[in-house]
Amino acid sequence: MKNSVILKVSLSLAIAQLLILSVAILYVHKSYLEGMKRFSQDMRVNIMREAKESKDYNLAREERFINRLITSIEGSLGQSLFALDRDGAVATLKKFMEVNENIKSINIYDLTDGTLFISALRDEKGILFSPVQSSPKGFLSTKRNLTYNGELLGYMEVYYDIGSVVSRLEKKKIEDINNFTAGLLKLEEDRHRGMLVGIGILLFGVLLTTALSVFLIFKLVHEPLQELKKGLDSFFKHLANPEEKISEIVIDSRDEFGQMASSINRNVKVSTRLHNDIRKREEQTRKLNEELISKNREIVKINEELEDRIRERTRELEEINQRLQELANKDSLTGLYNRRFFFEAVDNNIIPTAIRDGEPISAFIIDIDRFKSINDIYGHQVGDIVIRKLADIILSNIRRSDIAARLGGEEFAVVLAGTNINSALDVATRIKQEAESSVVGDGIRFTVSIGVSDYDRIEEGITETLHRADMALYRAKRNGRNRIEVNSSEDTLNDFLRQ
């Protein structure tokens, strides 16, 4: 028990008790001083209240005296105002203000028009009279009516000062208050000085015992704790880096710190062995994981190569299918759609969309005039050039929503979505004019004939519409070629009705 740290630290607790006692003494002394201070302040307040009451009484008495003085000159000033005698008013005011120094300013007003009759003002140079109103700030004021023989003539405004009127009795009371307060303060200072001397001696003893307790705590507690910290730090460094050596904790005492050091040293040795075993297992596991990761990377690489090959083959197949689809749907010479795809697209897409949206459809058939003569004279190669030229002219004059096809030989068909027969006639006119003005090869020119018709919603397909356009085309041929003929659904309906 005699080696216990608790016993060694008890001295520190005793010192703490001394400190608490010192704080208690200071608190009691402070409370005493505050009580005396409040007592002194209360006494001062009571005395000041009595002085104020006496002052207020004297001020009121002085104000009543001033009012009586003002009343004494009302008759004289009323008479001067009645006679409009400024000189008489000046003499009365000057004599009155010379005798009564508390009067600062007097203004006399005429009631008939409210104007200023005369004004008197006291300043450093003396008493000044002026026709201008004077209203000095910081002074008391009063208003009095001016009458003569019972008639109200005007009023006067008087500014006066009674704030400086303080009797000797009041000054004596204030002096007594100050002397009484000074005596109380002197008494408190003497008492305070004595208390400070005693507290200073007590604090010196407390500081001395505190220094001793700090030294004992440092030797008995701080140094062993530092040694324990040093040993544990070296242990944790060894866990992070096995090459770091572990410092053994050395504490010679047999108290709690010594027993703790022995226990920690034993546990550190056991923990170190376990930690080394764990590190070996972790190293083996790490190598196995690295091998697995390497194999996985190889597998992933192989899979990526296979996926790349599959994507490349798929893309090639898609391109081939797209080319095949184009070859199956388009004419190889002109790049326009062929007859089969043309009728499928019109029946499956253009006509249902127009019926759903309530829009018109128009169509026309184009045929190159005297195309056989061109082949016979210039050869089939030039004929192919003429066909391609006409296909380019058609594509340049229609929209993406429209569809054009080569039906066979020198015959072409065009279907215009959302277009009435008048707009379709404009498109056919541009195509005819461009064909007529174009030149192929060595100055070879050609013309076209066009038959135009519109889609009749009563009809079931585009075949009837193209049939009417074909009839219009034959009519254009019979009428001299290089022209456009129209065969609308209304014309067909009118022919049917006439029959």
Residues 50-83: tens digit of each pLDDT: 656 665 666 666 677 777 777 878 777 777 767 7
The pLDDT-based confidence of 359 (bands split at 50, 70, 90) is very high
pLDDT 10s digits, 148-192? 787 887 888 888 877 655 444 556 566 666 766 676 666 667 666
Can you tell me the distance from the alpha carbon of 499 to that of 486, in angstroms, rounded to the nearest whole number? 20
Non-local (6+) Cβ contacts of 416 within 8 A are: 361, 362, 363, 398, 399, 402, 423, 424, 427
| Cα–Cα separations (whole angstroms), residue 415 to 100, 427, 485 | 123, 11, 16
Active site residue 359: no
Q: Which two tokens stand for residue 393?
A: 């002219």
Q: What's residue 486's pLDDT? A: 96
Can you tell me the distance from the alpha carbon of 101 to that of 99, in angstroms, rounded to the nearest whole number? 6
Closest by CA to 114, choosing from 153, 88, 147, 151, is 153
pLDDT 10s digits, 305-357? 888 888 887 787 777 766 666 667 999 999 999 999 999 999 999 999 998 99
Q: Which of 267-271, 364-368, 489-493 has the lowest mean pLDDT?
A: 489-493
Dihedral sign from CA coordinates of 474, 480, 483, 486: negative
pLDDT 10s digits, 98-108? 877 778 888 88
Mean pLDDT, the chain, whole residue set: 79
The pLDDT-based confidence of 194 (bands split at 50, 70, 90) is low
Exactly one of 359, 410, 434, 464 is catalytic; which is it? Answer: 410
- Cα of first residue to Cα of last residue in the chain, in angstroms, is 139
With 80 as the cut, is the pLDDT of residue 365 above it?
A: yes
Can you tell me the distance from the alpha carbon of 459 to that of 495, in angstroms, rounded to the nearest whole number? 16
Of 111 and 198, the structure prediction assigns the larger pLDDT to: 111
Chain centroid to Cα 100, Å, comes to: 73
Closest by CA to 368, choosing from 403, 394, 331, is 394
Report the SS3 class of residue 155: strand
Q: Which of 112-121, 342-351, 462-471 has the lowest mean pLDDT?
A: 112-121
81 DSSP β-pair partners: none
